[in-house]
Amino acid sequence: MDWKPERNSHLTLQEQIVNWMRSRIERGDWTVGTKIPPQRKLASQLKVNRSTVQQAIEELKADGLLESKVGSGVYVANHSWNALLNKSQPNWKQHIESSIHKPNIHTIQLINEYEQYDDVIRLGTGELSPELLPTKELKQSLQSISLDAKVIGYSSPLGNERLRKILCEYLQKRGIYTFPENILIVSGALQALQLIALGLLEEGSIVFHEDPSYLTSVHPFQSAGMQMISVQRNQHLQETLQSLKKKRQSIFYCIPSLHNPTGINFSVEEKKQLYEVCNALQIPIVEDDVYHELLFDSPTPPIKSFDSSGQVLYIGSVSKTLSPGLRIGWVVGPTQVIQRLADIKMQTDYGSSSFSQEIVAHWLSTELYENHVSWLRHQLKERVAFVEKILEEEFKDIASWNKSAGGFYIWLRFHQPIVNKAFFLKLLNEKVLINPGYIYAANDLHHIRLSYAYASFDELAKGLEILRKISKVSMNRGIEGSE
Amino acid sequence: MDWKPERNSHLTLQEQIVNWMRSRIERGDWTVGTKIPPQRKLASQLKVNRSTVQQAIEELKADGLLESKVGSGVYVANHSWNALLNKSQPNWKQHIESSIHKPNIHTIQLINEYEQYDDVIRLGTGELSPELLPTKELKQSLQSISLDAKVIGYSSPLGNERLRKILCEYLQKRGIYTFPENILIVSGALQALQLIALGLLEEGSIVFHEDPSYLTSVHPFQSAGMQMISVQRNQHLQETLQSLKKKRQSIFYCIPSLHNPTGINFSVEEKKQLYEVCNALQIPIVEDDVYHELLFDSPTPPIKSFDSSGQVLYIGSVSKTLSPGLRIGWVVGPTQVIQRLADIKMQTDYGSSSFSQEIVAHWLSTELYENHVSWLRHQLKERVAFVEKILEEEFKDIASWNKSAGGFYIWLRFHQPIVNKAFFLKLLNEKVLINPGYIYAANDLHHIRLSYAYASFDELAKGLEILRKISKVSMNRGIEGSE
């Protein structure tokens, strides 16, 4: 939205806005059913008073081009458009509503939207703060990467071969011995899940996962028609899985290191137990290990390191350590699985950015990456100390939490179930963005995933102050309500 | 596959290979049902005689670890593995076979595989020759791109805002007036099709396309359960579409400029006719225009330029002009459609490489891009002249073709229906890789998509000589067979 009304036009601001909106509708940019941006947002983007926007919208409503839906917003009107403009257009709204892929849940859509605004304090973001990204070093490294014509062409189905060889060496350090042919380069861990959903499971397959889980907040499996079932890892796990699985195909998705959102780490014994239970039932394990490098203490070996059955698909990424903008991750698995996923990736996007792959190869093959990650852990430790001090001083009466063992998150539990969507919106209204627990476990109204990785120290302090204030109000309301 | 047997080991080469294969199986890299690489390929990778590989395989077959399937190859044996190794593993083969996404057709899998070998002459490849990529300039431009922390974080759902603004200006030159909010940055045109399949169509929707069509060679729509129907564009188009569509949702996919594979260009009248027919029936049009810049003569305006109903989704890319390795393309469409596709893209891969987006923004906003594309057209013209001269001299008796109007391809039609899979394999055996017509239209045995964009002049000459030789043999066989 680059357009703004002119101050010295012979038309009033309102007239200009009416004409502009009308033209967006007439040109087919705003088709029937399009929700137009909120008045406040429009006013700020067009640099006019909110009342001017409001009057313009009223005028278009009177013309029948726009219509209000109570509690939802202003939309391009359905009934009158064809008549007014005398043309037909596809029923996009119906196309969207009847199509296959699930939309993001509304809270996540709002998070995605508001993360773009600079004046919002992001207390939930699963992303490194700009000051934690090695911007200068990345820029320098662009001059060191080899960039021959082969690199900038389409890559082979499995991805850049040099990068896969380097990854073999890199993964050996954590006890995973593999070959380049057993690695597929993907555009981040989420794409790996998407490929697994489409390439290894039939409709109605069961995806077992922990509760809560990052997996609940994304839809690669649900949109492909899989059933999501959360299970507890306890001594009855094998019976539970067996009874739920019946004769269906299934996989077990887990994040054994620095679990997202809880931050929990499996012990070696827990990893072995899960491996053996799933092995006995022939259930493949998807081990999401994107936070591996960010454990403050030495990590224990991944489940994949004791896999001798080709049972574990192991996912890694540089998004949490080096730069999410590179969009580079990897999957390690048996040859035939990797070939299958590569075949679908070729049909999906013909491979990941060769430039990004070359940058990652350069970082992993020099000491750049390890030096950076070691510095990064140190920075995250300082951040977590800062946040835990505030929590200790200000939140003990209303919430509890475990000391962070690494990564980005504290799984903050409020004593009362106050974290509902109204709570999320109340904070958003104060320009504080949180990741509420209910996006990771539908019925969870106790938790938020507090991230100390993104916001600046000042923002963290200010954001936590607002969080505390709103929480207190919500708790008091809760108590009043229950009286 | 980095491993090679050692010459001065106390074990024979064969023993080492047997141990290595056994360990790949025991470690679960080669799970039950894995097809092991062909003997010739293994011999070349392990740097041993083919007979050594063969004897190693025979030994493992005798042990029951491998088994031959007639006419298909050697596989990790099913019956004996569990017994031999006393462990269980997931039935990956079944997982793969029952899963949702269609595999690439076998010919395309072979193309993807053999494109990686340097000694293969690629006569069909839809990719620029390494010498046509602006490698040096791209490398230089890496020093000019801005790379602040915001750029290397996750991008906004629609993609890099600066790039979208630049694209608005860029697209104006071809008559498309749009806004940044109406553009989604994607990882190449193929991803755009994937997002449209998942986000705008219900299962069983109809995808109308031309015959032949690039779309037949990829599966984004079929894998999502859509019906593909090819139609002729003639004066009965409206009745045809109406009778086939019935009450179903549908879209019309077309490549009006430098059609892939035929190279045909719609006239302005044909574009208008298609737009009006689809408008009357409310069928959205997907206009794939990735070859736009490569027309030798001035291009006519795209269908999107006269779209005033939000009916056309317009796809572009830099893969055919600047570098496929960047993986950057775009879709232009109505606001609500772009928001929907962006929401699914966020659920699929959290956006395209920020580095790639920044590089493309730099090229499009300076004269770099236009200068390069203008040079490129000139180079392609020289290549087409070279190839058309050979065709004129050597192929007139066996094939016909239209003069190329730009892009990469000549749609070469053999007088006899010789282009079957055996023909493809015979050429592959002589290290010449073609794109046979049957991947673009199932029953086409007359055509190949001849690309003059990839192979060197020497390779083009040599490849065409082999093509001519094999064609002649096939034709004579055909005539003998029919006698």
Residue B44 maps to which CATH number?
1.10.10.10
SS3 content of chain B, % helix, strand, coil (to 5): 45, 15, 40
Q: Report CA-CA distances (Å) from A435 to A121, A131, B123, B424.
A: 12, 21, 52, 54
Q: Is the domain of A30 the same as that of A114? A: no
Task: Quick: pLDDT tens for B129-150.
Answer: 999 999 999 988 888 887 777 7
Alpha helix positions (H), B153-235: 161-172, 189-200
A346 shares its domain with A378: no
**Token pair listed for B94:** 């079944």
State whether A349 and B190 contact (CB < 8 Å): yes
**CB-count exposure of residue B227 (10 Å: 0-12, 13-18, 19+):** middle
- Which positions in chain B touch A104 (Cβ < 8 Å)? 343, 346-347
- Residue A1 in domain: no
Q: Which of B31, B95, B217, B331 to mutate to test the interface with A (most CBs of A within 10 A)?
A: B95
Residues A192 and A337 reside in one and the same domain: yes
Neighbour-count burial of A196, counting CB atoms closer than 10 A to its CB (0-12 exposed, 13-18 middle, 19+ buried):
buried
Domain tally, chain A: 3
CA–CA min distance B325, chain A (Å):
4
**pLDDT (mean) for B464-477:** 94
pLDDT in tens, chain A (483 residues): 578 999 999 999 999 999 999 989 888 899 888 999 888 889 988 999 999 999 999 999 998 899 998 877 899 987 655 556 666 788 898 899 999 888 988 999 899 888 888 899 999 999 999 999 999 999 888 888 877 777 677 778 899 999 999 999 999 999 999 999 999 999 999 999 999 999 999 999 999 999 999 999 988 999 889 999 999 988 899 999 999 998 899 999 999 999 999 999 999 999 999 999 999 999 999 999 999 999 999 989 999 999 988 999 999 999 999 999 999 999 999 999 999 999 999 888 888 999 999 999 999 999 999 999 999 999 999 999 999 999 999 999 999 999 999 999 999 999 999 999 999 999 999 999 999 999 999 899 999 999 999 999 999 999 999 999 999 999 987 655 443
Residue partners of B267: CB distance under 8 A and separation at least 6: B300
Q: A343 vs A137, A340, A355, B149, CA distance in Å?
A: 34, 5, 21, 34
- Selection from B326, B360, B150, B354 nearest residue A135 by Cα: B150
pLDDT of B482 over the 60 cut: no
For all residues of chain B together, what is the average pLDDT?
92
* Residue A2 domain flag: no
Contacting residues of B for A130, CB less than 8 Å apart: 148-150, 153
Q: How confident is the model at residue B55 (pLDDT cuts 50, 70, 90)?
A: very high
Cβ atoms within 10 A of the Cβ of A75, count?
18
Give the per-residue pLDDT at A81. 59
Q: Say if residue A116 is in the same domain as residue A162.
A: no
Classify residue B475: in a domain, yes or no.
Answer: yes
For the ranges A31-40, A467-476, B404-413, B415-424, the lowest mean pLDDT is seen at: A31-40
Element (H, E) at A171: helix A161-172
Same domain, B200 and B319: yes
Which CATH number characterizes residue A296's domain? Answer: 3.40.640.10
A148 and A260 co-located in one domain = yes
In 3D space, the residue among B65, B349, B33, B73 whose CA is nearest the CA of residue B185 turns out to be B349
Q: Which two tokens stand for residue A270?
A: 């827990």
Pairing state between β A447-451 and A409-414: antiparallel
Q: Is residue B8 part of a domain?
A: no
Identity of the residue in B28, B283, B343 whose CB atom sits nearest the CB atom of A103? B343
Percentage of residues of chain B with pLDDT beyond 70: 96
Long-range contacts from A169-172, C-beta under 8 angstroms, 24+ separation:
A170/A364, A171/A316, A171/A332
Q: What is the pLDDT of residue A483?
A: 38
Confidence (pLDDT) at B85 = 63
A254 shares its domain with A323: yes
Pair type for strands A432-433 and A409-414 = unpaired
- How many separate helices (H) and strands (E) can be counted in chain B? 17, 15
- Partners of A33 on chain B (C-beta within 8 Å) are 336
Q: Which helix (H) or strand (E) holds A250?
A: strand A250-254
Nearest to A135 among B98, B148, B280 (CB): B148
Shared domain check, A406 and A362: no
- Residue-range definition of the domain harbouring residue A342: 134-366
**One-letter identity of residue A245:** K
Q: Residue A186: closest CA among chain B residues belongs to which residue?
A: B349
Is the domain of A311 the same as that of A243? yes
**Over residues B330-336, mean pLDDT:** 96
Question: What's residue B70's pLDDT?
Answer: 80
Mean pLDDT (chain A, rounded): 92
Structure tokens at B419: 């282009």
Q: Do B337 and A155 touch (CB under 8 A)?
A: no
Instruction: Show residues of chain A in contact with B194, CB under 8 Å.
Output: 348-349
Q: Quick one: pLDDT at residue B483?
A: 38
CA distance B281 to B284: 9
Where b means 16+ CB within 10 Å and e means fewer, A318-355 reads bbbbbbbbbbbbbbbbbbbbbbbbbbbbbbbbbbbbbb
Nearest CB among B95, B224, B324 relative to A100 is that of: B224
Decide which of A481 and B249 is more confident: B249
Mutation for testing the B interface, residue in A23, A24, A99 having most B CBs under 10 Å: A99
Q: What count of CB pairs under 8 Å joins A to B?
A: 375
Q: CA of B131, closest CA in chain A: separation in Å?
A: 7
Residues of A in contact with B305 (CB under 8 A): none
Whether A195 and A55 map to the same domain: the answer is no
Show which of A337, A366, A395 is a domain's final residue.
Answer: A366
B3 domain residue, yes or no: no
Nearest CA in chain B to A187: B349
Distance from CA of B176 to the nearest CA of A (A): 11
Q: Give the helix/strand (H/E) hosting A229.
A: strand A227-230
Does an H or E element contain B15, and which?
A: helix B13-26
Shared domain for A458 and A354, answered yes or no, is: no
Contact A153 B131 (CB under 8 A): no
Q: Do B172 and B118 belong to one domain?
A: no
Radius of gyration of chain A, Cα coordinates, nearest whole angstrom: 25
Neighbours of A382 (CB within 10 A): 11
Is A135 in contact with B152 (Cβ distance < 8 A)? yes
**CA pair distance B43, A220, nearest whole angstrom:** 40
Which among B135, B188, B355 is the nearest to A149, CB-wise? B135
The verdict on ipTM greater than 0.85 is yes
Between CA B199 and CA A5 the distance in angstroms is 34
Chain B residue closest to A152 (CA)? B325
Q: A329 pairs with which residues across the strands? A: A186, A317
- Find all residues with CB under 8 Å of A335, minimum gap 6, and list them: A181, A182, B29, B30, B31, B34
What are the tokens at A137?
A: 């070093």
CB A226 within 8 A of CB A204: yes
The whole-number pLDDT of residue B41 equals 85
Residue A231 is given by DSSP the state: -
In a domain, B7, yes or no: no
- Peptide linkage before A261 cis (omega within 30 of 0): yes
Please compute the mean of the pLDDT values over residues B430-445 and round it to a whole number: 96
d(CA A288, CA A259): 9
Residue B6 lies in a domain: no
Determine which of A20, A85, A101, A155 to mutate to test the interface with B (most B C-beta atoms within 10 Å).
A101
CA-nearest of B330, B340, B344 to B160 is B330
Q: Could you tell me which chain A residue has the CA closest to the CA of B144?
A: A139
Comparing alpha-carbon positions, the chain B residue that sits nearest to A347 is: B218
pLDDT at residue B368 greater than cutoff 90: yes
- Using CA atoms, how far residue B267 sits from A343, B173, B215, B237, B304, in Å, is 37, 18, 21, 16, 14
Is the bond preceding residue B256 a cis peptide, omega within 30 degrees? no
According to DSSP, residue B216 is labeled G
Chain A closest CA to B256's CA: distance in Å? Answer: 20
Q: Is position A354 within any domain?
A: yes
- Per-residue pLDDT of B293-325, as tens digits, reads 999 999 899 999 999 889 999 999 999 999 999
- Residue A409 belongs to domain with CATH number: 3.90.1150.10
Q: What phi and psi values does residue B396 have, to the nearest 5 degrees?
A: -60, -30
Alpha carbons B252 and B275: distance in angstroms, whole number: 10
The amino acid occupying position B179 is F
B225 vs A contacts (CB less than 8 Å): 100
